[in-house]
Amino acid sequence: MNFQQLRIVQEAVCRDFNLTEVARTLVTSQSGVSKHIKDLEDELGVELFVRRGKRVLGLTAPGKELLGMIERILVDTANIRRVADRFNNRDGGQLTVVATDTQALHTLKTAVSEFRKTYPRVKLTLIQASHKESAAMLLRGQADLGLISEPVSDFPGLVTFPYSHWQPAIIVAAGHPLEEVKPLTLDALAAHPIVTYPNGINGRAAIDQAFNRAGLVPDVLLSTLDQEVLKTYIEHGLGVGIVAGTAFDPARDTKLRLLECGHLFSGATARLAIRQGQHLRGYAYRFIKLCAPDTDEAKVRAVATTPQTDTLARFA
């Protein structure tokens, strides 16, 4: 049994049992992945995967039971490296933060700037990813912190803390007729194509609920997490944007206008996420504090050091 075999089992679950994707992620061959799986199954004397011909479809009962142990081994191994690095490199290291598009582009700038001034020798890496991808990276130990706007109830191995509250906002092209509608109404919005976030994103639910309560069905022309794509459509008059207010930058978005709509939609809470049981360096707690000054650092430390009990089986 070796770490590569354990990583392959973990990645197979995360990649929906697509061994080609597993091989690509781990920079190896598909035949090598298959051999590692067979060798591990032969050594353990049980089949870990359900198969149909050459296709891998899921985990067997023994595979599901062993997956939690495999995850803990890999996370603890990463924690051992982090502890050793803390003593060998007290003023340096690496902090990886995964964030959704909105968080990465608009709400992290101040925290990132301050952190880099305080810890110039720490390599800070920001990765933009979807909600599910962010959760998977945190659970696999590939990221230290996550900034997400969606619930994590499907990922019990993650714990979260309130980070910021964001309010849906209306953005239109300069000169758009809605600029003259005061107060703005849902009926007026529904008369135009809408560009907004995809279904399942925290905040989009509040938007849909508001229209549903009013008995309206908006014409959603485009739904995407890419803020720049959204703004391009809005700027060209192709739709009215319903997005996070933090997405609007008056200094850059000179061809767009932000309209008051706090009376139309309820807001959503963005959250800091960490994996339960993951060892965090001191500068990670400092980054958390920069993002969420009211966060109780002692509470974060207590949760971060509590052994985790989740599995990645929910990605299957």
Spatial neighbors of 221 by CB under 8 A, at least 6 apart, are 193, 194, 195, 233, 238, 239
Q: Determine what percent of the chain is predicted with pLDDT higher than 90.
A: 26
What is the domain range of residue 12?
A: 3-68
For the domain that residue 172 is a member of, what is the CATH number?
3.40.190.10
Domain-located, residue 84: no
Handedness of CA 171, 176, 179, 181 (dihedral sign): negative
Residues 51 and 14 in one domain: yes
**Is residue 7 scored above 50 in pLDDT?**
yes
200-209 average pLDDT score: 77
**Does residue 313 have a pLDDT over 70?**
no
Are 228 and 254 contained in the same domain? yes
Domain shared by 136 and 278, yes or no: yes
Q: For residue 294, is it within any domain?
A: yes
pLDDT in tens, 235-263: 999 999 998 887 888 899 999 999 988 88
Q: Which residues contact 133 (CB under 8 A, 6 or more apart)?
A: 98
pLDDT score of 315 more than 60: no
Q: Which of 260, 244, 266, 245 is nearest to 182 (CA)?
A: 260
| Residues 137, 249 within the same domain | no
Q: What is the pLDDT of residue 101?
A: 66
Q: Quick check: 296 pLDDT over 70?
A: yes
Q: How many CB atoms lie within 10 A of CB 195?
A: 23
Residue 310: is its pLDDT beyond 60?
no
Residue in 85, 102, 105, 95 with CA at minimum distance from that of residue 143: 95
Residue 158 has pLDDT above 50, yes or no: yes
Same domain for 182 and 155? no
**Given a cut of 50, is residue 314 above it in pLDDT?**
no
- Do 208 and 256 lie in one domain? The reply is yes
Q: State residue 193's pLDDT score.
A: 96
- Same domain, yes or no, for 173 and 243? yes
Q: Is residue 316 domain-resident?
A: no
Q: What is the pLDDT of residues 51-100, one digit of tens each?
A: 888 888 889 998 888 888 888 788 777 767 766 665 555 556 889 999 87
Q: Which residue has the tokens 């767009």?
A: 256
ω into residue 183 within 30 of 0, thus cis? yes
Which pLDDT belongs to residue 175?
A: 94
Q: 3-class DSSP state for residue 269?
A: strand
Same-domain check for residues 37 and 154? no
pLDDT single digits (tens) 208-237: 889 999 999 999 999 987 888 999 999 999
Query: Following DSSP, what letter does each residue of 157-183 receive, concatenated?
Result: TEEEEEEEEE-EEEEEETT-GGGG-SS
Q: Can you give the pLDDT at residue 278?
A: 78
In a domain, 73, yes or no: no
Q: Output b/e per residue, 86-97; b: 16+ Cβ within 10 A.
A: eeeeeeebebbb
**Percent of the chain whose pLDDT exceeds 70:** 88
pLDDT at 201 over 70: no
User: Is 86 inside a domain boundary?
Assistant: no
pLDDT category at 316 given cuts 50, 70, 90 is: very low
Residue 295 lies in a domain: yes
Instruction: Examine the domain organization and report whether 32 and 155 are in the same domain.
Output: no
How far is residue 288's CA from residue 273's CA, in Å, rounded to a whole number?
10
pLDDT in the model for residue 95: 92
Q: Are residues 97 and 219 in the same domain?
A: no
Are 262 and 202 contained in the same domain? yes
Position 290 in a domain: yes
Q: What is the CATH number of the domain that holds 44?
A: 1.10.10.10
pLDDT of residue 168: 83
| Domain tally, the chain | 3
- Mean pLDDT over the full length of the chain: 83
Co-location of 142 and 212 in the same domain: no
Q: Provide the pLDDT for residue 74.
A: 80
